[in-house]
Amino acid sequence: MFVPNYEVKKQIIDLHMGEKVHYCYQCGRCTDICPVSELEPERYDPRTLVMQGLLGLSHMILQPDKQFNLWGCQTCDLCDEICPNDIVLTDIFTILKNQSMRMGLAPEAYISQAKMVMETGQAIPLQDAIARRRDKMGLPLIPKPNVKEIQKILKATGFDKKIGYEEPKEEKK
Ligand code: SF4
Ligand code: SF4
């Protein structure tokens, strides 16, 4: 027998203080404005995600062969702005994405990018070519991040373990 995921359901309800989110009347305005849904209507639908999340049907969302139906969200926040009930959909999706991470279902591309942040302090490290172009355009240098400090913070939150990050081995001289 299928049992709803009450943990996810409770987290979503608590997030909106048990009120606003109950008033999602499935008007579909979030889906209408979503650029991802416009491009991939068969694979991505925020209105359905909210409904399934609220009902605790996370098994329908978190499927190994359907990662796009959650991770397709680009967090542009357009849906958050248009929802007539002030439901912050992206907060709901964060709960679901965290659950997806815990279950080892997050897409590899996101894990790689998270490891890049651990290693370099940046999701997309600045390339020399871009630095030269910025210089030519008279744009200021981007300061290098304090990687050790960033790693310290991320480790304190357990981020490294969540993404399975391993320290690079010291090269033998
Ligand atoms: S716009 Fe808001 S109320 Fe309408 S379906 Fe989306 S989340 Fe629900
Ligand atoms: S935040 Fe995600 S679901 Fe909302 S409009 Fe943007 S891509 Fe679509």
- Taking the CB of residue 172, how many other CB atoms lie within 10 A of it? 4
Residues in Cβ contact with 19 at an 8 Å cutoff, skipping those fewer than 6 apart: none
Determine whether the shortest distance from the Cβ of 26 to ligand 2 is under 6 A: no
Determine whether the shortest distance from the Cβ of 38 to ligand 2 is under 6 A: no
pLDDT by residue, tens only, the chain of 173 residues? 667 788 888 888 888 765 677 788 999 999 999 999 999 999 999 999 999 988 888 889 998 888 999 999 999 999 999 999 989 999 999 999 999 998 989 999 999 999 999 999 998 888 899 999 999 999 998 888 999 999 999 999 999 998 988 887 765 55
Q: What are phi and psi of 136, to 5 degrees?
A: -60, -35
Type of residue at 114: A
Residues in Cβ contact with 65 at an 8 Å cutoff, skipping those fewer than 6 apart: none
Hey, what are 162's tokens? 């969540």
- CA separation for the pair 162, 160 (Å, rounded): 5
What does the pLDDT read at residue 138?
A: 96
Task: Report which ligand 1 atom has the smallest distance to the Cα of 31.
Answer: 6
Q: Which domains does the chain have, with CATH numbers?
A: 6-102 (1.10.1060.10), 108-162 (no CATH)
Rounded to the nearest whole angstrom, what is the distance from the C-alpha of residue 88 to the centroid of ligand 2?
A: 10
- CA separation for the pair 94, 111 (Å, rounded): 15
What does the pLDDT read at residue 173?
A: 53
Rounded to the nearest whole angstrom, what is the distance from the C-alpha of residue 79 to the centroid of ligand 2?
A: 6
| Closest-approaching ligand to the CA atom of 20 | 1
What does the pLDDT read at residue 126?
A: 85
Residues with CB under 6 A from ligand 1: 24-30, 47, 50, 83-85, 87, 89
Q: Give pTM, 2 decimals.
A: 0.82
Hey, what are 157's tokens? 């939150």
Handedness of CA 151, 153, 155, 159 (dihedral sign): negative
What does the pLDDT read at residue 91?
A: 92
